[in-house]
């Protein structure tokens, strides 16, 4: 496997020095490679968790990068990190894929049928994910709320499947997911505001 | 519940990947419409970001699920990206001959309505012109026609892949009787679909300029052309044309 631990345009710890998306928007060919090498493992890992061994995983990753190339010009560091932008666009494409295929139930991860190898945690993905510091916020949710949110956002289960697994009515599942997400959003906003105040 | 709280509840459902019920979707649309454009964009973005970051946070705590992107997929993505960068224009230009009137004539008898049960009858987010125009990938194409009675039509179609939203403007398009016939938009996305995608049916009243939202029944990317036909009320699955209006890069 190609060593892509420190792709061009990134520092030795794997974190981009300058926004790759700005270079993508300007048509820099190297930026296309950098974008894939910096975020490819991350987007692929999320897609694999969402779609399992289904070909939809590769399709959604391809759609995500197509979308990133198209929307790179809209990225503004003032509205969030590049990582957040990439994650948001990639998630949007995964959700589109799910809606398009209308088969949440078939998207359950296919454990045991995973042709691609597990990733060494010391590579760039560890650095990227280390910057997603949501643990304190997720910790504010109850165990049940966290589990339901994980099944929905991370594993791609439908509300009815979560209801079946948890024994809760679908309406309760829906409400808990919505309210948990609202709390996360509020917590993120507060921590960003605190961060801004701290840097003043 | 305060309107802002209700709006956030619905946005949270949307960001979580939930398919809102039609009543909820309309409610969300009304709630968003009451806010300034920049504010509603921020509200939606923040909720989407929270969902995306939470998804990544769950991955961060699940090292067994960390995967290396397959080499063939990586190579394909890089090749596609570099090909795109090599193309100086932000969008890949289409060969004129392929999607000009030659295409129109060839396609006139073969407009097959494409939709899935999921997207069918699904109202799509109504974006205002400003939001669509502001998108980095927005395109604006003028209508043209060589069909008698439609040569005078003026206007454009505005479309954004990233937003999956568009808007059509017409002046001079003959009004229709909605009970008898309706206009239907077709979106040509040959890289993804063999047949044009249904872009929704719409009506034109006698008064002035008409502004109509595109209602694509499937996700489309870099449409090569848009075409308008006049069909029976409710639209058709297979159109025999003629293509009254065309908007394409060719």
Task: Give the chain B residue nearest A81 (alpha carbons).
Answer: B49
Quick check: B203 and B183 in contact, CB under 8 A?
yes
Task: Give the chain A residue nearest B78 (alpha carbons).
Answer: A33
Does the beta carbon of B57 lie under 8 angstroms from any beta carbon of chain A? yes
Of A44, A80, A181, the CB nearest to B69: A44
Classify domain B96-248 at the CATH topology level.
Immunoglobulin-like (2.60.40)
In the prediction, which pLDDT does B91 show? 44
Classify domain A133-200 at the CATH topology level.
Arc Repressor Mutant, subunit A (1.10.10)
Residue B101: asked if its preceding bond is cis (omega within 30°), the reply is no
In the prediction, which pLDDT does B211 show? 87
The SS3 of residue A26 is: coil
CB contact under 8 A, A33 and B119: no
In the prediction, which pLDDT does A115 show? 52
Report ipTM (2 d.p.). Answer: 0.84
**pLDDT tens digits, residue range A42-58?**
999 999 998 888 888 99
> Which residue reads 């009451």 in tokens?
B34
In the prediction, which pLDDT does B31 show? 86
Return the domain boundaries, chain A.
1-132, 133-200
Of A40, A70, A101, the CB nearest to B69: A40
Return the domain boundaries, chain B.
3-65, 96-248
Interatomic CA distance for residues A72 and A80, integer angstroms: 13
Task: Give the chain B residue nearest A37 (alpha carbons).
Answer: B74
Interatomic CA distance for residues B205 and B182, integer angstroms: 11
In the prediction, which pLDDT does A111 show? 40
What is the DSSP code string of B145-208?
Answer: --STTTTT-EEEEEEETTTTEEEEEEESPPP--TTTEEEEEEEE-TTT-SSPEEEEEE---SSS
CATH 1.10.1740.10 fits A1-132, yes or no: yes
Interatomic CA distance for residues A163 and A141, integer angstroms: 18
Residue by residue, pLDDT tens for chain B (250 residues) are 888 999 999 999 989 988 788 788 778 878 887 877 778 878 888 999 999 999 999 998 888 888 899 999 999 999 988 887 776 444 443 433 334 444 444 444 345 444 433 333 344 445 677 778 777 778 888 898 888 889 888 888 999 887 888 999 998 899 998 888 899 999 987 766 667 888 999 999 887 778 899 988 877 777 888 999 998 888 887 777 789 999 986 5
Interatomic CA distance for residues A41 and B11, integer angstroms: 29
Interatomic CA distance for residues B140 and B55, integer angstroms: 35
Task: Tell me the chain B residues in contact with residue A114 when contact means C-beta distances shorter than 8 Å.
Answer: 67
Interatomic CA distance for residues A76 and A64, integer angstroms: 18
Of A71, A156, A181, the CB nearest to B137: A71
pTM confidence score: 0.63
CB contact under 8 A, B17 and A99: yes
Task: Give the chain A residue nearest B84 (alpha carbons).
Answer: A27
In the prediction, which pLDDT does B184 show? 93
CB contact under 8 A, B67 and A44: yes
Quick check: A44 and B73 in contact, CB under 8 A?
yes
**pLDDT tens digits, residue range A61-81?**
988 898 888 778 888 887 788
Task: Tell me the chain B residues in contact with residue A150 when contact means C-beta distances shorter than 8 Å.
Answer: 58
């Amino acid at each position: 496997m190609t060593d892509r631990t420190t792709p061009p345009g990134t520092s030795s710890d794997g974190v981009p020095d300058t926004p790759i998306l700005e270079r993508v928007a300007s048509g820099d060919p190297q930026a296309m490679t950098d974008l894939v090498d910096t975020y490819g493992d991350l987007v692929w890992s999320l897609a694999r968790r969402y779609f399992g061994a289904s070909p939809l995983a590769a399709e959604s990753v391809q759609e995500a990068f197509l979308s990133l190339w198209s929307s790179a010009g809209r990225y503004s560091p003032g509205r969030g990190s590049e990582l957040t932008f990439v994650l948001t666009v990639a998630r949007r494409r995964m959700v589109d894929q799910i809606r398009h295929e209308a088969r949440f139930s078939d998207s359950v991860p296919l454990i045991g049928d995973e042709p691609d190898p597990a990733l060494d945690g010391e590579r760039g993905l560890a650095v990227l994910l280390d910057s997603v510091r949501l643990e304190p916020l997720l910790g504010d949710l109850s165990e049940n709320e966290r589990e339901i949110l994980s099944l929905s956002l991370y594993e791609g289960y439908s509300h009815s499947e979560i209801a079946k697994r948890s024994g809760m009515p679908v309406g309760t599942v829906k409400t808990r997911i919505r309210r948990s997400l609202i709390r996360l959003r509020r917590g993120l906003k507060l921590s960003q505001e605190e961060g801004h105040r701290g840097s003043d | 519940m305060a309107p802002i709280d209700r709006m956030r509840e619905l946005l949270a459902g949307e960001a979580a990947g939930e398919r809102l019920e039609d009543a909820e979707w309309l409610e969300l649309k009304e709630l968003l419409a009451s806010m300034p454009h920049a504010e509603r964009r921020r509200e939606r973005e923040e909720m989407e970001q929270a969902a995306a970051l939470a998804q990544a946070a769950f991955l961060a705590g699940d090292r067994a699920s960390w995967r290396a992107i397959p080499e063939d997929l990586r190579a394909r993505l890089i090749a596609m990206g570099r090909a795109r960068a090599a193309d100086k224009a932000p969008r890949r230009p289409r060969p004129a001959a392929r999607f000009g009137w030659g295409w129109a004539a060839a396609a006139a008898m073969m407009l097959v309505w494409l939709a899935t049960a999921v997207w069918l009858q699904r109202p799509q987010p109504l974006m205002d012109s400003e939001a669509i125009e502001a998108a980095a990938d927005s395109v604006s194409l003028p209508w043209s026609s060589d069909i008698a009675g439609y040569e005078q039509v003026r206007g454009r179609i505005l479309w954004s892949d990233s937003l999956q939203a568009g808007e059509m403007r017409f002046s001079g398009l003959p009004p229709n009787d909605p009970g008898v016939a309706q206009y239907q938009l077709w979106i040509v996305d040959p890289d993804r679909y063999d047949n044009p995608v249904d872009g929704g049916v719409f009506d034109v009243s006698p008064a002035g300029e008409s502004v109509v939202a595109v209602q694509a029944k499937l996700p489309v990317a870099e449409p090569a052309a848009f075409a308008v036909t006049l069909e029976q009320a409710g639209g058709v699955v297979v159109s025999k044309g003629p293509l009254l209006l065309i908007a394409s890069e060719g």
